Amino acid sequence: MAQQFPLHEHPHRRFNPLTGEWVLVSPHRTKRPWQGKVESTARDQRPAYDPGCYLCPGNQRAGGQQTPAYTSTHVFTNDFSALLPDTPDTLVEDGLLRARGESGVCRVICFSPNHALTLPEMTEDNLLDVVTVWQLEYAELGALPHINHVQIFENKGDVMGCSNPHPHGQIWAQHSIPNEVAKKTARQAAYFEQNGSSLLADYLAQERKEGTRILLENAHFVALVPFWAVWPYEAMIIPVRQQQHIGQINEAEKTSFVSILKGLTIRFDNLFQTSFPYSAGIHQAPTDGAQYPGWHWHMSFYPPLLRSATVKKFMVGYEMFGESQRDITPEQAAETLRKLSGVHYREQAGT
């Protein structure tokens, strides 16, 4: 990118072509990824099995159901689902007041029977099981007649509101296409119609040529800090070959995806030597039966930690009333993450 205007020195706004929104970047406020002392937190030593955990194999769940003695990735319908399959599609209108019933299905995915293992510490074979379940659930839920979108996501860590420490993710499948996906659908469709190519494929080609925000890459996937990142150490995983959803990745690509997923999450943990909290989600094409030639699926990670394991970025004040803002640039964040070891800090310490 031309540097007639040095982005690393001056306040500026960056455009997100996937959503059509802007983020304010203020690099003059801190020229380094963080300031002050960085302290390691006490290592989180959880047992492999917790008799009080309702997600551990064989235990009773919070809703009273019995969790089977599962030995691999396990899926079940959420006992306290935010969406229910039998909700009527009723429209309620009263002047400017408008509401509509929303139906759907919510499921929980226990990544591993081991209570202590998060994604970066799982083996690649175990991670392949997780990705396979994501593929199966997207296909199964997306085929239901009342489901038009399937959202796969993970909230990791209590700072992100995770209600149970057992490593798990969720799937919310619903009748409507949610706001963020609707924005990305429209933006990608418009770009594809105008250029005849995928927005993210063209963006990825530009990023790989420049290289400053690339974290990891292999034959089939790239992990990077997006140019328009909002969160301090936000990252994306993008398939090199354009695909509308994860069901389209072949076995070789699945192995590559797992390698990148493990490598990225290890570096997150290594940054502050803590089990790094984040919200991660896979955005992919809606399942309403329409064709989406412009869609290019991707996985985004939004971690809140800023300067240490105990200092987080809050979206308050200006961010709530104006627009998103960040101090460290995406380039600084990428450089910091890229330099970290690909060996998990616990393994380095022999714990």
Residue 340's nearest CA partner among 160, 216, 168 is 216
Structure tokens belonging to residue 20: 């059509």
Name residue 154's beta-bridge partners: 280
* Cα gap 236→225, rounded to integer Å: 6
Measured distance CA(195)–CA(180) in Å, rounded = 22
Residue 246 · residue 236 · CB < 8 Å: no
CA 182 to chain centre: 17
Which H, E and C letters describe 126-167, residue by residue? HHHHHHHHHHHHHHHHHCCCCCCEEEEEEEECHHHCCCCCCC
Characterize 242-255 residue by residue with b for buried, 16 or more Cβ atoms within 10 angstroms of its Cβ, and e for exposed.
Answer: bbbbbeebeeebbb
| Residue of 176, 19, 48 lying closest to 112 (CA atoms) | 48
Closest C-alpha to 169, from 150, 144, 184: 150
Catalytic residues, by residue number, are: 168
CB contact at 8 A, 212 and 218: no
CA distance linking residue 20 with residue 15, whole number of Å? 7
Contact 63, 95 (CB under 8 A): no
